[in-house]
Amino acid sequence: MSKPRILLISPAHPPDDPRITLKIAPALARQYDVVCLLPTIQFPHYQSLSVRLLRVHPVILWHIIRLRPAVLHLFMPELLPIGLLCRAFGVQVVYEVQENLRLKFDRKTRNNHPVFQWLFGNFERLARQFCYHVFTETSYLDTYTELRL
């Protein structure tokens, strides 16, 4: 019997990020067919969120359709719209919270436009209802309350 496929996705982490490639992927490989979708030849890395939304997200969506994963593991809040869309089609979505952007937007030097803040806030609210969460710090438990899954 084949293992269910899990797709680890981040358009911003380096392709050799040790947290993903040396820790998370090998740990999940025991139970899943793991595929990592990180900036490489499949899609380049862009600093600008606007450029990633327009140039990288369509490529990511194409890979999701092509690979048909049972689970999406997202590392970036910008991917929540894609995750929620896939959730509507029965894909389980895990959102790994690595920073509390709502509390950090005022300190960000890029990608902090009010439109992004508004979009992130709304998609994060939906993710609290429809996605599973992994927290990299216990302090997030104070802010991420009322999780449904």
Q: In the chain, where do the E strands start and end?
A: 5-9, 33-37, 71-74, 92-97, 132-135
Percent of the chain with pLDDT over 70: 95
Highest-confidence range of 4-8, 46-50, 94-98, 108-112, by mean pLDDT? 4-8
pLDDT digits (tens, 9 = 90+) for 97-120: 987 666 666 777 776 778 888 888
pLDDT at residue 83, as a whole number: 96
- For 44, the enclosing helix (H) or strand (E) is none
Q: Are 86 and 63 contacting, i.e. CB atoms less than 8 angstroms apart? A: no
* Structure tokens given for 24: 């998370």
Q: For residue 60, what are the CA distances in angstroms to 11, 57, 143?
A: 8, 5, 29
pLDDT band at 139 (very low <50, low <70, confident <90, very high): confident
Q: Which two tokens stand for residue 53?
A: 């939304």
Mean of pLDDT values over 19-48? 93
Q: What is the pTM of this model?
A: 0.88
Look at the block and give the residue holding tokens 């990633």. 52
